Amino acid sequence: MTGTETSGADAGRSEPRRALRTDPERLASTHERATSFVRSVVDESGANGVVVRLRGDVDSTVTAAVAVDALGADDVHGLVLPCTLGSEANARDAEAVADLLGVDATRVQLHRLLAGFRETVGGELAPAADTVTTMNVVARLRMTCAYFLANATRRLVVGSTTRTDRLLGDWTKHGDGAADLLPLGHLFETEVRALAAHLDVPEFVIEPSAGPDRWGGFADEPTRDVPAETVDRVLALAIEDGRTVEGTADALGVDAELVEHLAGRHAGTRHKRRRPARPDRNEATSG
C-alpha cells in the first residue's frame, strides 16, 4: 500500500479522480481515441499493418475490433496460438472472432514447441520448474511467434494488456506484455467490457462479470468472486489516488483485506512496470 493519508479534500469521496468511462458518450469518445491512436502509430512507423494475438477473450477481441476499425480488415492479421488441449476451446472462439471481423488468422499449435523447449532447455536449466514458470515460457513463445510474423511482413504487434492488467502485474514480462502498441492500455477492465458491449462484441467471448483469474490460469482466491468493477475501483482509489487501505475500504464499502491484497499485488509486481535497473550515470564513484 502507498501509505499516503487521505487528504481533507478527498475525505468522503467514493469515486477516483478519473471516473470509469462506461457511459455511451464516453465510450464513443474512447473508441475514437483508440482507433486514432492505432492509425497514427502505424502511419508514423510506415508499417504494412498489425499482428494481433487472438485468445477468444474480451480483451483481445476488442483490441482486434479497434485495429480493424482503425486500419481495415486487410491490414490486420490474427494469430491463434493454442498450446494445450485445454486451450482448444478458446482457440475455436478466437477463430470465430477472426471470421466475424473479416481478418485473416493463422493458427499454430505450440504443444510440440513447448515440449521441445522442455526437453532441450528446461531439462538442462530447470528440470523442476513449476507450472507458473512454464506458463511464462508459453507466453514468451507466443510473443516470439507474433514478432516473427511481424518482422517478416513489416507489421507491428498490437497487445491487449489493459490498465487493470498493468496495475496488478497480470502479464508476463517479455511475453503477452510485449507489444509495439497497447490501444487498451489506458482502460480499466470494466471500461473494456463496456466498450465490448458498445462494439457489439459477440456474447461467446464475454467473460463473467466476476474478476478474472489474474494469475494466468491459477486461482487468486481473494478476488475469485469479486466483480471486475470493484477491483477497478479499488485500484483507482488505493493505487492511483493514493488513498489509505482504510480510506479506500470505507469509501467503497469493501473489506480492508481485499484492498490490502490488491495493493500487495501492485507492489509485488512493480518491477514489471519499470525499465531495467541500471546504475545512475551521475552517481559519484568511490575511490
Question: pLDDT tens digit string along 239-285?
Answer: 999 999 999 999 999 999 999 999 999 999 999 999 888 898 776 55
Q: Count the alpha carbons within 13 Å of 178 in the hemisphere toward its beta carbon.
A: 16
Q: Which pLDDT score is estimated for 207?
A: 61
pLDDT at 131 > cutoff 90? no
Strand order in the sheet with 156-158: 104-107, 76-80, 50-53, 156-158
Q: With beta carbons less than 8 A apart as the criterion, state whether 63 and 79 touch.
A: no
Average pLDDT score over the chain: 88
Q: What is the largest CA-CA distance in the chain?
A: 66
Mean pLDDT in residue range 87-92: 88
Stretch 151-160: mean pLDDT: 98
Residue 5 has pLDDT above 50, yes or no: no
Instruction: Provide the pLDDT for residue 264.
Output: 96
- pLDDT of 6 > 60? The answer is no
> pLDDT value at position 200?
93
**Residue of 248, 250, 213 lying closest to 234 (CA atoms):** 248
